[in-house]
Structure 1
Amino acid sequence: MSLVSYTCRDGAAWIRLTDSSRGNPLSQAIVDELATAVRQARHDDARVVVLAAEGRAFSVGGDVSAFASADDVEQAIDDLAEALHRTISELHRMDAVVVSVVHGAAAGAGLALAAAADLVLAGASARFTLAYTKLGFTPDGGTSLLTASLGLHRALHLALLNPVLTAEQAHAFGLVAQVHPDDELAAAAEQVVRQLAAGSRAAQVATKRLLREAAAPAAETLLRRETLSIRARAASPDGREGVAAFAEKRTPEFPSN
């Protein structure tokens, strides 16, 4: 069964996460399919790439249940983070303007994936949270880049206190560009796609490159540091306890406390 759907029409590539019954967790399988879809969008020379999802959530984040059953959790985390980071780098580098359309939960790496877009649209029901430190992990998925887009203290607030932001709060933070009623979100996304498609492609490409390079000139280095950090944290006693507590549906008791 496919976990990601892809369609391209009128210069816009629509990529949808479709593991809806599980909340679209970012498992190795779904990230691999996401990478294939992003490469197809580049091959199709899409002017706009839309990241969306089916079901109750945009993405609940990393597939923690898979970490709990992995024979080598450190290697599993490394493989997943590297695959996700390659795809996020591709989204950053591609000429297409990337738009994420978020409803329900965007948690952990799901938030990071949404934030990898150039523009984030959210339904009123959308909720955003990082929650990595609740597992004893450090963030990945390009979360470090939020220090450029949101500011250091807002990024630290998200990463250390793990608040759950409403769509309006995420808009006030600067994470979300537009908020729409849930039943108007799809139409609003279509309108944004049409507006971008009608603009000067050359100007959009140059603007995206200019601003992304100014905001994070060492983005690739930051992504690699995130991989190394989350891999080490996942293998640590705190990380192992966080994953075990998640699987057992209890509050973790971190050994380092």
Structure 2
Amino acid sequence: MTTVEYDQRDGVARITLADAERGNPLTPAMVQDLGRAVRRARADDVHVVVLSAAGRAFSVGGDVSAFAAADDVEQMVDDMAESLHRVVSDLHRMDAVVVSVVRGTAAGAGVPLAAAADLVLAAASARFTLAYTRIGFSPDGGSTLLTASIGLHRALHLALLNPVLSAEEARAAGLVAQVHPDDELDAAVEDVVAVLRSGSRAAQVAAKRLLRETATPAAETALRRETLSIRARAAAPDGREGVSAFLGKRPPRFPSSAP
């Protein structure tokens, strides 16, 4: 069963994370399904991509239980990060304007995945948190690219203190373009799609390329550095303790922080 649904009509591709019961965790299977859907949208040469999720959460982030069960967690995390980074790169480089729609929680890699879109629309109830360092991991998924949109010190605040941002706080920080009441979000998304579809596609493609290339000229290098860092952190004592503590629902006791 696919964990990602794809629908395309009238120049608009709708990609939906569909593991709603589990909160749409970014498992290896989901990332592979997501990659196929994004590549399909590129092949279909659509004008707009709408990336959304079914259920109570946009994405709770990586599947921490899978990290604990892996025989070789370093290799597993490397493979996961590289696959996710290919998806992020494809979203950045595709001609279509990408609109992400966030309801509920976007945590861990769910945050940079939502931010990989060109426009982020959020329900008033949406919440955003990186939470990587809480389990002894360093950020991936394009988290370091957030410095281009929200600034260095806001990004450090998110990465080091792991606050949970409300939708309005995320909008004020520059992460979210629009916030709407939950029951009005679907209509707002369709309004944005209609505006984009009525505009000059050629001009939109040019604008997207110019702005992205100026804001993040070394994006591929940054993503590779994220992969190398998170694979090392996942296999290190702090990462193993963070995963164990998360699954055991207890505060972590990180070896590197011991007196």
| Normalised TM-score (structure 2) | 0.98
Q: Deviations over 1:103-126 (max 9, x none)?
A: 000001001100000000000110
Query: Map of 1:48-59 to 2, 5 A cutoff?
Result: 48-59=48-59
| SS of equivalent to 1:256 | helix
Who is 2:245 aligned against? 245
* 1:7 maps to 2:1: no
* 1:136 maps to 2:136: yes
Who is 1:75 aligned against? 75
Cα separation, 1, equivalents of 2:65 and 2:171? 31
| SS of equivalent to 1:31 | helix
Cα separation, 2, equivalents of 1:70 and 1:244? 13
Shift of 1:204: 0.2
Cα separation, 2, equivalents of 1:106 and 1:169? 14
Q: Deviations over 1:90-142 (max 9, x none)?
A: 00000000000000000010011000000000001100000000010000000
Shift of 1:246: 1.2
Over 6 Å off, 4+ runs: none
| SS of equivalent to 1:208 | helix
Who is 2:96 aligned against? 96
Cα separation, 2, equivalents of 1:10 and 1:187? 17
Q: How many percent identity over aligned positions?
A: 75
Who is 2:159 aligned against? 159
| SS of equivalent to 2:57 | coil
Counterpart amino acid of 2:175?
L
Cα separation, 2, equivalents of 1:9 and 1:245? 45
Who is 1:63 aligned against? 63
Shift of 1:160: 0.5
Cα separation, 2, equivalents of 1:23 and 1:91? 22
Q: Deviations over 1:203-240 (max 9, x none)?
A: 00000000000001000000000000000000100001
Who is 2:199 aligned against? 199
Shift of 1:201: 0.4
Who is 2:112 aligned against? 112
| SS of equivalent to 2:59 | coil
Shift of 1:187: 1.0
Who is 2:214 aligned against? 214
Cα separation, 1, equivalents of 2:184 and 2:60? 22
Who is 2:230 aligned against? 230
Counterpart amino acid of 1:149?
S
Q: Deviations over 1:56-113 (max 9, x none)?
A: 0000001111101111111110000000000100000000000000000000100110
Query: Map of 1:32-43 to 2, 5 A cutoff?
Result: 32-43=32-43
| SS of equivalent to 2:144 | helix
Counterpart amino acid of 1:211?
L
Q: Give structure 1 stretches of 5+ with no counterpart.
A: none
Shift of 1:245: 0.9
* 1:172 maps to 2:172: yes
Cα separation, 2, equivalents of 1:27 and 1:48? 26
Q: Size of the alignment, in residue pairs? A: 257
Cα separation, 1, equivalents of 2:162 and 2:10? 39
Who is 1:147 aligned against? 147
- What is the root-mean-square deviation of aligned Cα atoms in Å? 0.5
| SS of equivalent to 1:24 | coil
